[in-house]
Amino acid sequence: MKRRSFLKKTATVGAGTLAAGALASCSESPVDPNSGTYKNVGASSSSGSQNSQPSIDLKMVTTWPKNFPGLGTRAVEFAEDINKATNGRIRIRVYAAEELVPALQSFDAVSQGNADIYHGPDYYWQGKHTMFNFFGAVPFGLTATEMTQWLQYGGGQALWDELSGRFNVKPMLCNATGIQMGGWFNKEINSVEDFQGLKMRIPGFGGEIIKRMGGTPVTLPGGEIFLSLSQGNIDATEWIGPWNDLALGFHQVARYYYTSGYHEPSASVCAGWNLDVWNSLSDSERVIIEALAEKHYARSLAEFNARNANALRTLVNDHGVETRQFPPEVMKALADIAADIAADMGRTDDISARIYTSYMETLSEAKEWAAVADEPYYAARRLSDKFGQAL
């Protein structure tokens, strides 16, 4: 589908006008966080003002339950900021999972022009192309900060644009969860053999690892996990981390909480735009949207880091959750299988090989630098208990 009738773009908005809109304060939120509907900002309708131009009304579909903390709420806030920064020029209505389309059909809705933007992790779309995993999360791969290193300085964004462009989508990072937890289990994992027959909710690349370990991966959107786990349809689930896991109540239906999330060193959440819609925007509008996406990526990472520690204390101290670590021999087996799967993915076709090579070059650089800088620092910081104590 090419440009739709509701995209009433009859005049180009000047960069100076948009910059002024981006800096203007607004006392009222333009998007109702409960309904996802938008309200116009900037009451001026005088000749030559931005609001005298036709507005662009868009639909965002998400893979998250309504008002889900840190992900569903971040999608609404992203829409709010776009509205504010363009002074009501671009107005986005946000639909939670199932409100307009099912969570796992968000990509198709945007690709086909039935929605304009999706908000979710790209590993959900591995059925479209296996290399979407590399832009969502690679087990034992790049962390949140390293992911931006690859996209911005290692050629990753151009490759992502090329892959998504085949499906009429323009992708951009807009959220990061940071390093996740390993998941909730109803039995302890003490050996590689404990994965035999395990039914675990885990999508994407991580799911393929569980399959090769002898288990059965299951893909479920967030809103369906609790019921499936409580009914025994699955034996284990990964989700995100303490903040979100507490909100979904997994501690009520699973006993053991494993760390760390080898399968997702950070979930890279994408705002995927219908390419025809994206190309219809002015250069200044696209620059503003990309800048806001970077803002939300950084802010969401900070928010997850801030919330997870407190939520973990609540899970352990108030709900008696037992935390566990996977044994080293289990982690090594998982890592070896992950390496084999990644290499197999890289052999799929030409673009797969280029994505794989580019990603692994950045991963090698990141590991080398982290071994010199980050890892020794973290080890040294643990030597003293004096820092981090209240006065």
d(CA 122, CA 270): 7
Write the pLDDT tens digit of every residue in 91-110: 999 999 999 999 999 999 99
Instruction: Tally helices (H) and strands (E) across the chain.
Output: 13, 11
Percent of the chain with pLDDT over 90: 80
Q: What is the pLDDT of residue 43?
A: 35
User: For residue 243, is pLDDT > 60?
Assistant: yes
Q: What is the pLDDT of residue 15?
A: 36
Q: What is the pLDDT of residue 387?
A: 84
- Structural domains in the chain, sorted by start: 15-176+268-305 (3.40.190.170)
Q: What is the pLDDT of residue 32?
A: 52
Looking up tokens 């910059």 gives: 19
Write the pLDDT tens digit of every residue in 182-220: 999 999 999 999 999 999 999 889 999 999 999 999 988
SS3 content of the chain, % helix, strand, coil (to 5): 50, 15, 35
User: For residue 172, is pLDDT > 60?
Assistant: yes
Higher pLDDT, 43 or 386: 386
Confidence band for 364, pLDDT divided at 50, 70 and 90: very high
Q: What is the pLDDT of residue 51?
A: 52
d(CA 321, CA 307): 17
User: For residue 278, is pLDDT > 90?
Assistant: yes
d(CA 114, CA 272): 13
Among 32-36, 71-75, 270-274, 308-312, name the one with the lowest average pLDDT. 32-36
Question: Stretch 375-385: mean pLDDT, rounded?
Answer: 93
Cis before 111? omega within 30 = no
User: For residue 293, is pLDDT > 80?
Assistant: yes
Q: What is the pLDDT of residue 313?
A: 95
Q: What is the pLDDT of residue 105?
A: 97
Q: What is the pLDDT of residue 219?
A: 87
Higher pLDDT, 269 or 9: 269
Question: Stretch 76-93: mean pLDDT, rounded?
Answer: 97
Strands (E), the chain: 56-62, 90-95, 117-121, 169-176, 183-185, 199-201, 216-218, 236-237, 256-259, 268-274, 322-325
Looking up tokens 């989700």 gives: 239
Question: Stretch 238-261: mean pLDDT, rounded?
Answer: 94
Q: What is the pLDDT of residue 176?
A: 95
Give the mean pLDDT of the chain. 88
Number of Cβ atoms within 10 Å of the Cβ of 300: 24
Q: What is the pLDDT of residue 388?
A: 77
Write the pLDDT tens digit of every residue in 259-276: 989 999 988 999 999 999
The contacts found for 322-328 with CB under 8 angstroms, 24 or more apart, are: 322/255, 322/256, 322/257, 323/256, 323/257, 323/258, 323/259, 324/185, 324/188, 324/189, 324/256, 324/257, 324/258, 324/259, 325/258, 325/259, 325/260, 326/182, 326/189, 326/258, 326/262, 327/189, 327/190, 327/191
**Closest CA relative to residue 88, chosen from 28, 135, 134, 3:** 28
Write the pLDDT tens digit of every residue in 140-167: 999 999 999 999 999 999 999 999 999 9
Q: What is the pLDDT of residue 342?
A: 97
Side-chain half-sphere exposure of 369, counting CA atoms within 13 A: 10
